[in-house]
């Protein structure tokens, strides 16, 4: 069975159940107005699909705020603080780990949150995207206390609300194979898409597509273009904004 056939069969099961799958799109590591960002925004605008940009506060520039000022269909999330690894060399990379005092990490996050609010105003949602999709479990209970209402990592979430006042909406399909540092391959991605849709029929979890505009090769860009061309308007699925998802009943299903 081809990748798209598996996706279409999953959506048929959603329709047979009288339900609609939810898909959303997140792109990480945004900090500057670059040609790659222009390419991403051009693609987003051409397909008229909502996009959530995870912005690194410590390096986000005024030029980025200007570039995004007139962009439509864009939500802004907080991508950690400086996207700096604080884990030992033998461990997986982590900025928001347990390697530093919690108050230091939370203080940086608060500083980053204020920086995004200064640059983008209310367009910056109180949603945290941990760099490398990793955060120490001990930090999560404090996130609502410092103003966050959402958390987004990668993979199936364990709970809709990890703690009271915090909603988790993840991504599940990463365009990049990070071990090889290249496009993950169309068949592998469509298989992951079909599997995520299958799981979501039980959990009600929104399915998230993850891109990294600064790290994508031409094959990844080509797939992203064809993906939205194929998905847009597919029966049995709706494409949601991050703004709506982090306050929606679908995300809490």
- Model confidence at 251, pLDDT cuts 50, 70, 90, reads very low
The answer as to whether 252 is a domain residue is no
The answer as to whether 71 is a domain residue is yes
| % of the chain beyond a pLDDT of 70 | 97
Q: How far apart are CA 177 and CA 166, in angstroms?
A: 29
**Cα–Cα nearest to 14, from 238, 249, 246, 252:** 238
For the stretch 19-70, pLDDT in tens is 999 999 999 999 999 999 999 999 999 999 999 999 999 999 999 999 999 8
Report the pLDDT value the prediction gives residue 127, as an integer from 0 to 100: 98
Q: How far apart are CA 84 and CA 79, in angstroms?
A: 11
**Across 183-205, average pLDDT:** 97
The answer as to whether 251 is a domain residue is no
The answer as to whether 52 is a domain residue is yes
- Model confidence at 158, pLDDT cuts 50, 70, 90, reads very high
Classified as helix, coil or strand, 248 is coil
Which domain range does residue 134 map to? Answer: 3-245
Contact 21, 14 (CB under 8 A): yes
Report the pLDDT value the prediction gives residue 249, as an integer from 0 to 100: 47
Neighbours of 5 (CB within 10 A): 11
Report the pLDDT value the prediction gives residue 233, as an integer from 0 to 100: 84
**Across 232-247, average pLDDT:** 94
CATH number, position 157:
3.20.20.370
Q: How far apart are CA 110 and CA 118, in angstroms?
A: 13
Report the pLDDT value the prediction gives residue 247, as an integer from 0 to 100: 86
Structure tokens that stand for 47 in this block: 């397909």
Contact 77, 53 (CB under 8 A): yes
Q: What is the DSSP string of 89-157?
A: TTSPP-SBSSSS-HHHHHHHHHHHHHHHHHHHGGGEEEEE--GGG-B-GGGGGGTGGGT--EE--BS--
The answer as to whether 226 is a domain residue is yes
The answer as to whether 222 is a domain residue is yes
Q: How many domains does the chain have?
A: 1
- Model confidence at 250, pLDDT cuts 50, 70, 90, reads very low
| % of the chain beyond a pLDDT of 90 | 94
**Cα–Cα nearest to 57, from 36, 31, 38:** 31
The answer as to whether 253 is a domain residue is no
For the stretch 115-157, pLDDT in tens is 999 999 999 999 999 999 999 999 999 999 999 999 999 999 9
The answer as to whether 82 is a domain residue is yes
Mean pLDDT of the chain: 95
């Amino acid at each position: 069975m081809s990748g798209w056939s598996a996706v279409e069969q999953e959506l048929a099961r959603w329709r047979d159940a009288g339900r609609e799958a939810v898909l959303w799109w997140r792109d990480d590591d945004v900090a500057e107005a670059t040609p790659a960002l222009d390419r991403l925004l051009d693609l987003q605008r051409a397909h008229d699909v909502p996009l959530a940009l995870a912005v690194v506060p410590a390096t986000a520039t005024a030029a980025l705020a200007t570039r995004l000022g007139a962009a439509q269909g864009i939500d802004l999330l907080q991508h950690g603080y400086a996207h700096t690894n604080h884990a030992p060399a033998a461990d997986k990379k982590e900025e928001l780990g347990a390697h530093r005092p919690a108050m230091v990490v939370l203080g940086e996050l608060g500083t980053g949150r204020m920086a995004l609010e200064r640059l983008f105003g209310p367009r910056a949602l109180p949603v945290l995207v941990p760099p490398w999709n990793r955060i120490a479990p001990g930090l999560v209970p404090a996130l609502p206390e410092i103003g966050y209402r959402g958390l987004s990592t990668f993979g199936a979430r364990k709970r809709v609300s990890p703690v009271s006042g915090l909603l988790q909406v993840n991504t599940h399909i990463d365009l990049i194979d990070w071990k090889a540092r290249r496009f993950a391959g169309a068949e592998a991605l469509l298989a992951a898409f079909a599997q995520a849709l299958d799981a979501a029929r039980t959990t009600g979890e929104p399915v998230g597509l993850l891109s990294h505009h600064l790290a994508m090769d031409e094959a990844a860009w080509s797939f992203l273009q064809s993906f939205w061309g194929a998905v847009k308007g597919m029966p049995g699925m709706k494409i949601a904004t991050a703004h709506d998802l982090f306050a929606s009943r679908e995300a809490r299903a």
